[in-house]
Chain A
Amino acid sequence: MTSETASPPVGGFDPGNYYAFDLARGAVHTRHGERVLVLSADVLGPLVSTAARHGDLTAVRGLGKHIGDDASRSLGGDARRAAPEAVLTHISGTLAVLGWGTLSLERWGSALVLSLQGAPALDAERLGLAALLGGVLTSVGGQDVACVPISGGANSARFLIVHPGVAETVWGWARDGVELPAIVARLAQEAA
């Protein structure tokens, strides 16, 4: 059984035939041949929280790299040379097909901020999602990228894209209650 969707816009993400359900073998594969499991978000959440408590979110970051690879294949070119809108379209489409919500990109001066809406709550501090997105951008950007959860509501969250070397510092500011504009201003002032 395959998913049927409308024709995508030209140059946009094509979700058609992303999954291939091989009921005879009881397997689900993506259109790239990767086998996937359809899991409940309530089950995955506790697993991610446990990993976060242990400080090891490598598996989640790996999952993000797989998603990033899938998005790069969908983009069909070097993501660093592509327009930001095109890259965002394919990353967001891939995350949406996999059930991770909708993604948008914000620019706060020189800082980039990812805004994820409708994502499942994996852990209270959103470290799982931060690791997932970090893995996605690392794969797409071709260099190590860290995403630090800054703010968010019940159904949305913002993640600041920073160098992995300053991720802990920025995470500390966020936990201290510093708002995103102030964090960006601090980073810009110190970088100037």
Chain B
Amino acid sequence: MSSARISKLEALLRRVEERRQQPRLHAVSPRESSPTVPDLERVAPASQRSSLPSPAASEPIELPTSPPAAIEPPRKQPSISPLETAMAQLDDSGPLELPAPVVSRAEPRAPAPAGPDMLVTHRPGAEPLELEAPVELTQPKRPHVEREPTIEFETAKVRVNARELRAVGEPMGSPAPAGPAPSAGSPPAPLSAPSQTLEAAPLPSAAQPARAISAARVEAPKTFGELLDLSLALRP
């Protein structure tokens, strides 16, 4: 077995261990015997629940020694009705009622050693476990999580921000326009008209702009004859 495959299996086993320690909301089917159709959402039938060993009777995981078969990624099932059904039944009362599982059997293989119930997408050479005892899974009560505010807004800051926001629409040096003042924390109302119009002071009548001489610089290029005529046209 290649080291990559061994590491993969080890990762899977770690996941299983982690899930084992978490509260179980639903039961899944025993290990799939088919190496190509692992299904995490299939649940074990009622007749097979008895064969499911309890987590307490788990045995240490033994790595397979036989040559592995081709590993295929788990197929996603389009419908997750068992899970949805189980989730829909989540409440604080009573145990979960699991729907009838769907179990598919592959070609018979050599019996695998009994092991803990675990969410394994694939175990080479594995066969579905026989449930030995019914498993009643009870969903623990949902912890009532009181969301504590992670951010505390200081009222003073909000007021300051509101005052600042109000100042945006106010004209400079003039009383505030009539209208409802925005409350603290609420965005300022859009302005429909300029709050202030500044006009430039009128120019004095005595001031005359400088004589424009740039026209000669931007004029179109003239011919020699045109330039000569202009010079000859200068007469006192």
Q: Chain A residues in contact with chain B, CB under 8 A? A: 79-84, 86-88, 107, 109-112, 137, 140-143, 145, 161-163, 165-166, 169-170, 184, 186-188, 190-191
B216 is contacted by which of A83, A109, A140, A143 (Cβ under 8 Å)?
A109
Contact A161 B236, CB 8 Å, known A84-B222, A109-B216: no
Starting from the known contacts A81-B223, A110-B233, 14 additional A-B residue pairs (CB-CB under 8 Å) come to A83-B221, A84-B224, A87-B224, A109-B216, A110-B230, A111-B234, A141-B224, A161-B232, A163-B233, A165-B235, A187-B236, A188-B234, A190-B234, A190-B236
Residues of chain B within 8 A of A86, CB atoms compared: 224
Contacts of A88 in B (CB 8 A): 224
B residues whose Cβ falls under 8 Å from a Cβ of A: 213, 216, 221-225, 227-228, 230-236
Complex Cα–Cα for A186 and B234 (A)? 9
**Would you call A169 and B228 a contact (CB within 8 A)?**
no
B227 touches A112 (CB 8 A): yes
Of B225, B234, B236, the residue contacting A79 (CB under 8 A) is B225
Known: A186-B236, A188-B234. A161 touches B228 (CB 8 A): yes
Given A145-B228, A161-B228, decide whether A191 and B223 contact each other with a Cβ distance below 8 A.
no
Cα–Cα distance between A109 and B233 once the two chains are bound (Å): 12
What are the residues of chain A within 8 A of B222 when measuring CB–CB?
84
Residue of A nearest to B222 (CB): A84
Complex Cα–Cα for A88 and B223 (A): 12
Counting chain B CB atoms within 10 Å of each CB, which of A86, A110, A145 scores highest?
A: A110
Q: How far, in whole Å, are A142 and B228 apart by their CA atoms in the complex?
A: 10
**Closest residue of B by beta carbon distance from A189:** B236
The answer for the CA separation of A116 and B1 in the assembled complex, in Å, is 101
